[in-house]
């Protein structure tokens, strides 16, 4: 019993360290990719090739003065960054990153907690993230912050429905809510190693998932809660120092979480030939992250009315159609 508690604690420490490091270097990746797309150099001076830029940013944020405006609701103001940060990290508790390994004679599962309702857990954690944004806007005296919070809550409601419906097709086909079982169902049964990946069976669901996930994480071109040209900085306008950095880390942690879940649900998770399972998982997460950055560098920001119309009049009907079509196909095919 004590050994298993120790093993779980080590896995939690390793996954948490990996996620926080990945969040830091996701900022470096984004700056470099966008810079090359815009014919610039990007981070260059902090370490070789600018590789120490995330460390420099962390030191800068840690030593900046933590300014708290007058007239804030202080308890809520202090809790908002934590309410945004913690659910983003907890997503990774149920994401399988490997098929397992042996350590000192113990068989270690490649996931911290293999919940049989892992998909519902993921939705619960991603839904909680909006509370941090709403509390940040409500507790601040700035109208810009409040507008960002209102936009975020409306955006979350609008896209959360289509986001959930986008993976219902996988749940209908796979008949399980366990992420580990979903990965196992996508294992190769022939030399075509991607033949069982759910992106092949659910291409429309994959496109819906990607689009709604970008909106869920408030990333460009759906970054209306921040919208610098309209709201200064949106919900985190009144935050500085480490409080601001918690919002910043939470955004990238949600991006990584969405990428990890997307790789698990649609791209076979850690399944793949020749390379170790963990490497395959990391490659697929990297592809999702690159797509995030690519879209930011390519598309202009939506107007708010366009955002809402796109969510309710385009994505929602397509998600309903995909769900119903998948259900009919499963019944007729006898799966």
Q: In this predicted model, what pLDDT tens digit does every residue of 250-309 receive, in sequence order?
A: 888 988 998 999 999 999 888 888 888 889 999 999 999 998 888 888 888 888 788 888
Q: What digits encode the pLDDT tens for the residues 8-24?
A: 788 888 888 999 899 98
Asked if 211 contacts 292 with a C-beta cutoff of 8 angstroms, the reply is no
Q: Please list the residues that pair with 122 across neighbouring strands.
A: none
Decide if 180 contacts 118 (C-beta within 8 A): yes
Q: Are 28 and 47 in contact (CB under 8 A)?
A: no
- Distances from the Cα of 323 to the Cα of 82, 162, 329, angstroms: 35, 10, 10
Q: How far apart are CA 121 and CA 124, in angstroms?
A: 5
Compute the distance between CA of residue 215 and CA of residue 143 in angstroms, rounded to an integer.
22
Q: Tell me the C-alpha distance between 54 and 196, whole Å.
A: 38
pLDDT in tens, 40-52: 888 888 888 888 9
pLDDT of residue 204: 93
Give the per-residue pLDDT at 274.
83
Half-sphere exposure (CA, 13 Å, Cβ side) for 124? Answer: 9
What rounded mean pLDDT belongs to the chain?
Answer: 85
Question: What string of H, E and C letters represents the secondary structure of the chain?
Answer: CHHHHHHHHHHHHHHHHHHHHHHHHHHHHHHHHHHHHCCCCCCCCCCHHHCCHHHHHHHHHHHCCCCCCCCCCHHHHHHHHHHHHHHHHHHHHCCCCCCCEEECCEEECCCCCCCCCHHHHHHHHHHHHHHHHHHHHHHCCCHHHHHHHHHHHHHHHHHHHHHHHHCHHHHHHHCCCCHHHHHHHCCCCCCCCCCCCHHHHCHHHHHHHHHHHHHHCCCCCCCCCCCHHHHCCHHHCCCCHHHHHHHHHHHHHHHHHHHHHHHHHHCCCCCCCCCCHHHHHHHHHHHHHHHHHHHHHHCCCCCHHHHHHHHHHHHHHHHHHHHHHHHHHHHHHCC
Domain ranges of the chain: 71-333
Q: At what angle do helices 241-266 and 74-90 cross, to 10 degrees?
A: 30
Across 86-95, 240-249, 254-263, 315-324, least confident range: 240-249
Percent of the residues in the chain that have a pLDDT greater than 70, as a whole number: 94
Question: What values do phi and psi take at 189, rounded to 5?
Answer: -115, 0
* pLDDT surpasses 70 at 104: no
CB of 294 closer than 8 Å to CB of 33: yes
Would you state the pLDDT for residue 292?
85
CA Rg value for the chain: 21
Q: Measure the CA–CA gap between 140 and 272, rounded to whole angstroms.
A: 48
Is residue 236's pLDDT more than 80? no
Instruction: Please report the pLDDT score of residue 190 as a whole number.
Output: 65
CA proximity to 67, closest of 10, 12, 140: 140
CB 238 within 8 A of CB 69: yes
* pLDDT of res. 333: 81
């Amino acid at each position: 019993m004590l050994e298993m508690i120790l093993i779980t604690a080590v896995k939690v420490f390793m996954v948490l360290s990996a996620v926080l490091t990945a969040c830091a270097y996701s900022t470096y990746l984004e700056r470099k990719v966008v810079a090359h797309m815009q014919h610039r150099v990007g981070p260059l001076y902090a370490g070789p090739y600018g590789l120490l830029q995330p460390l420099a940013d962390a030191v800068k944020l840690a030593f900046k003065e933590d300014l708290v405006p007058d007239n804030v609701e202080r308890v809520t103001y202090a809790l908002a960054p934590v309410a945004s940060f913690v659910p983003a990290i907890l997503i990774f508790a149920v994401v399988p990153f490997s098929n397992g390994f042996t350590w000192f004679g113990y068989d270690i599962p490649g996931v911290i907690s293999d919940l049989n309702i892992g998909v519902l857990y993921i939705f619960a954690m991603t839904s909680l993230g909006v509370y941090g944004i709403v509390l940040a806007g409500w507790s601040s005296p700035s109208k810009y912050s409040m507008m960002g919070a209102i936009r975020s809550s409306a955006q979350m409601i609008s896209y959360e429905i289509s986001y959930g419906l986008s993976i219902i097709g996988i749940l209908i086909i796979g008949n399980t809510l366990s992420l580990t079982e979903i990965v196992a169902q996508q294992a190769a049964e022939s030399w075509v190693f991607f033949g069982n990946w759910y992106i092949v069976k659910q291409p429309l669901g994959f496109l819906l998932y990607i689009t709604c996930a970008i909106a869920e994480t408030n990333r460009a071109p759906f970054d209306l809660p921040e919208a610098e040209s309209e709201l200064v900085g949106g919900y985190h306008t009144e935050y500085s120092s480490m409080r601001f950095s918690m919002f910043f880390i939470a955004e990238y942690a949600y991006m990584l979480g969405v990428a990890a879940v997307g790789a698990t649900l649609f791209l076979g998770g850690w399944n793949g030939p020749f390379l170790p399972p963990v490497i395959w998982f990391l490659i697929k997460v990297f592809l999702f992250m690159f797509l995030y950055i690519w879209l930011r560098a390519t598309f202009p920001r939506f107007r708010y009315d366009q955002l809402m119309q796109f969510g309710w009049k385009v994505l929602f009907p397509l998600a309903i159609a995909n769900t119903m079509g998948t259900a009919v196909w499963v019944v007729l095919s006898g799966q």
